Amino acid sequence: MPDQKTRIIDVIESFRPELTQLALDIHAHPELGYEEVQSSGFICDLLEKHGFTVTRGYCDMATSFRADRQGRGPGPRVAFLAEYDALPGCSPDGKGVGHGCGHNLISTCSVAAFLGLTALADQFDGTVSIIGTPAEEGGAGKVHLLDRGAFDDVDFALMMHPSSGGVPGNLVGRGARASTGVIAEFTGRGCHSSAPQNGINALTSCISLFNQIDAMRPTFELSDNINGIITDGGQASNIIPAFASAKFTVRADTMKRCGELVEIMRGCAERAAAMTGATLAFKNGVITAERYPNKPMNQAFKDNMAKLGIEMVWPDPRKQYGSSDIGNVSIKIPAIHDYLSIDDTAAAHTPAYCVASATPYAIDVAIKGGMGLAMTGWDILSDEAFRQEIKAYHDQQIPDFYKNKE
């Protein structure tokens, strides 16, 4: 192993007590997206303690931050991305907010990587950054940061996400689908249920929307996915509902297709409203993009984790996976978002995973993941040929649709 990578491991190991405490502090103070005041504060305080200048409220987002360390000369910028938002209903007892997706470990891993690689600042040309990216869970924080220019000077983005299942869960190069949210609200006219002809049943329109979507499913692509719930269907069975609403999650292989599905749903909702005479309010959220893992970077991370005694595997290409706002970043610049298992059985987005995210084993995995990310960052900064390979792969894998859009 090169001396520089040994140095990275030693430096991160020296921070183990503080990194462990960071993971536990964030875990003990779970906060929802865009509310991560304490969580981002724990990270910023640690970085400032060790001499880094931190921009809090980066890009006018209250719980975002950024810190940089310049190398010996100008060059590319490698950024480690930190997430730290929690989930509702994922506390250990299932009743409150908790880290059911292990974002306390993501942030700990990225802080470890930043501390490890910046220790070699006198040996590389370029810059190492850490960017705090709030509200991954449904808030599309990275998309808003992209729109505000947070990644305009970044050349490579790296992060790790916890998983489960042992070695089969240690995935490199796992993709993700595009996703967005839709809310449909129908306003009618309430009346006594004994005389429904005097009202406009908003719930009838809402149910019609679901039925129309189901009727359209045979025309969808196999990977299209629309799942919805009725969030308001009335308050009493003897009253014709004057208001009804539904919420949907939409997934597809690409942002383009996701947008097409939203327009199909809009048409269904408009017809549902017209059927009863209700009025419609149709809202769709930001689309988080499909992910384009950079295989040269994935392979480097896989090789570096092997040096640390952790075996990683490539994913089953037949499987469909979830969504994340890192996808939007991966369209703009080469990025990796690889997975390390922290538990054999606990499923993500559950109270059990929240418990698993605070175990000594999980924190050790996060710290070792930080070592692997930092070592991969060193590979990038120290090897011009490798950087060109990464960029060439990125250029050929991104669809022309996105390039032309830019």
Shared domain check, 131 and 9: yes
- At 171-196, the pLDDT tens digits run 999 999 999 999 999 999 999 999 99
Shared domain check, 81 and 229: no
* Phi and psi at residue 341, to the nearest 5°: -75, 135
- Reduced to 3 states (helix: H, G, I; strand: E, B; else coil), residue 32 is coil
**Cβ atoms of 311 and 135 closer than 8 Å:** no
Mean pLDDT of 346-370: 98
pLDDT at 192: 97
Shared domain check, 126 and 27: yes
- Cα 49 to Cα 40: distance, rounded to the nearest angstrom: 14
Strands 239-240 and 335-341: what pairing? unpaired
CA distances from 288 to 19, 68, 106, 282 (A): 30, 26, 19, 19
Shared domain check, 29 and 133: yes
pLDDT at 65: 99
- Cα 300 to Cα 303: distance, rounded to the nearest angstrom: 5
**Domain count along the chain:** 2
Shared domain check, 206 and 193: yes
- At 301-341, the pLDDT tens digits run 999 999 999 999 999 887 878 899 999 999 999 999 999 99
- Cα 366 to Cα 370: distance, rounded to the nearest angstrom: 6
pLDDT at 349: 96
Shared domain check, 47 and 146: yes
Write out the two tokens for 350. Answer: 């559950």
Shared domain check, 214 and 184: yes
User: Which CATH number characterizes residue 257's domain?
Assistant: 3.30.70.360
Nearest to 326 by CA among 317, 318, 334: 334
Given 284, 315, 336, which residue is the final one in a domain?
284
- At 232-274, the pLDDT tens digits run 999 999 999 999 999 999 999 999 999 999 999 999 999 999 9
Given 284, 308, 335, which residue is the final one in a domain?
284
pLDDT at 404: 66
Shared domain check, 279 and 380: no
Nearest to 361 by CA among 336, 338, 344: 344
Question: What is the 8-class DSSP label of residue 244?
Answer: E
Shared domain check, 191 and 170: no
User: Which CATH number characterizes residue 17's domain?
Assistant: 3.40.630.10
Bridge partners of residue 227, in order along the sequence: 249
Tracing tokens 């808030």 back to the chain, one arrives at 139
- Cα 196 to Cα 110: distance, rounded to the nearest angstrom: 59
Mean pLDDT of 354-383: 99
Residue 222's pLDDT band (cuts 50, 70, 90): very high
Q: What are the helix (H) ranges across 324-383?
A: 326-332, 351-356, 360-382
Residue 192: left (phi > 0), alpha (psi -120 to 50), or beta?
A: beta
Residue 90's pLDDT band (cuts 50, 70, 90): very high
- Cα 269 to Cα 273: distance, rounded to the nearest angstrom: 6
Strands 335-341 and 54-56: what pairing? unpaired
Shared domain check, 255 and 309: no
Shared domain check, 295 and 263: no
Given 284, 312, 337, which residue is the final one in a domain?
284
Shared domain check, 299 and 247: no
CB atoms within 10 A of CB 17: 8
> What global pTM score does this model have?
0.93
* Percent with pLDDT over 90 in the chain: 96
Domain of 23 in residue numbering reads as 3-176+291-405
* Percent with pLDDT over 70 in the chain: 99
Mean pLDDT of 15-39: 99
- Cα 309 to Cα 358: distance, rounded to the nearest angstrom: 22
**Cβ atoms of 197 and 226 closer than 8 Å:** no
Compute the mean pLDDT over every residue in the chain, rounded to the nearest whole number.
97
- Cα 326 to Cα 207: distance, rounded to the nearest angstrom: 34
Residue 138's pLDDT band (cuts 50, 70, 90): confident
In the predicted structure, residue 137 carries a pLDDT above the cut 70? yes
